[in-house]
Structure 1
């Protein structure tokens, strides 16, 4: 499974996912860094089969209307510090991996995972 972490999430999250064995890039790793357009992020996601991890509802809108990005993990935790975010991922990463085998849009809150069909 491969991820692309969007700009409003910390680079630290991308590095955590890498250390857990997942092929992960952050928008800061891209040529235009955090100024990379949503269109370009969607294109990279589709080209490389990368799941976009974001807090940006614009990706939800594009996913629902034109099925881009490839797959979407929408983070709806509100304001959260990096340690809490990492802990939520650590607790749910295996389950998320299993869900993304057959689902394309998942939402993660502070205390739940919501699979959208």
Structure 2
């Protein structure tokens, strides 16, 4: 899968997803770095067929209301350490992958993965 990890999440997450075989870019690697706007992130993700990985509810709202970004993984774990976040992502990765194959809006919570149907489904 092709991911674009938002600035609110650690670059370590992007690196770990890359280690696990995914094509991953963190916003810190974009031309405007972590100052890249949400609109620009959505446009880049849609143009490059990437899934936005974020904590930011604005991406969820934009996805649901405007269809952009076309796919989004919302990390809704509350305050957990980066180490615990990496562990959770890795332990749930196959469920996340499966959910993103069939859905466009997926949420990772501490208690698991929630897949939401595509708008209009």
Structure 2 length-normalised TM: 0.94
Greater shift, 107-116 or 4-13, is seen at 107-116
Other structure's SS at 1:61 match: helix
Number of residue pairs aligned between Structure 1 and Structure 2:
117
CA-atom RMSD in angstroms = 0.7
Counterparts of 1:81-92 in structure 2, within 5 Å, are: 81-92=81-92
Aligned to 1:49: 49
Aligned to 1:113: 113
Aligned to 2:77: 77
Quote the offset at 1:69 in angstroms: 0.5
Quote the offset at 1:95 in angstroms: 1.5
Aligned to 1:98: 98
How far apart, in 1, do the equivalents of 2:112 and 2:97 lie?
15
Structure 1 length-normalised TM: 0.97
How far apart, in 2, do the equivalents of 1:101 and 1:57 lie?
21
Aligned to 1:8: 8
Quote the offset at 1:10 in angstroms: 0.2
Aligned to 2:33: 33
Other structure's SS at 1:24 match: strand
- Runs (5+) with no aligned partner, structure 1: none
- Runs (5+) with no aligned partner, structure 2: none
How far apart, in 1, do the equivalents of 2:113 and 2:96 lie?
8
